[in-house]
Structure 1
């Protein structure tokens, strides 16, 4: 009984090993293209407005920020205030929360 069970399991293993097919060049090309698309989608946006250099301002009091310490064209946007919708990648926007502290930084 044990011997026949071993033979059946061995035959199943051999059959499973014979069904494997190595990927074709077309399969590998498709996988590479998919990985390239994912890399492009997951790429962080470029830091066009010096955002990384000003991250320390998150949580700071908006009234205490010196405009001269910010890049040219930067704007401090009060909570609920209207702003223009023109996009300028080099412009740093500091958005204040309801408490008057910097809640968000973004380029545009």
Structure 2
């Protein structure tokens, strides 16, 4: 798997772990709690491997931006959190920000 594939794995694992946090009920439920630990474990391991190639600033911008946008979408989809124009604009700006950072990277 290449570095950006590892970064994507890290992001998806982090989103899974973060999404499980809500279901843990303060770490009182075992399976969601294990989901948090496993999700974050895979996320940080995959991120550490991606950082062998991807510059730290770029990796973190992609990680934070896409992770935030995807986590917001999980909240809307699975936890029935409200979705409105402000959230849509915010998620859109995050995604465009990550795209702009990728266009601005120096080779």
What is the TM-score of this pair, normalised by structure 2? 0.23
Question: Which structure is higher in helix share?
Answer: 2
| More strand per residue | 1
Larger radius of gyration: 1
The higher relative CO (CA closer than 8 Å, separation ≥ 6) is in 2
Give the alignment's TM-score, normalised by structure 1: 0.23
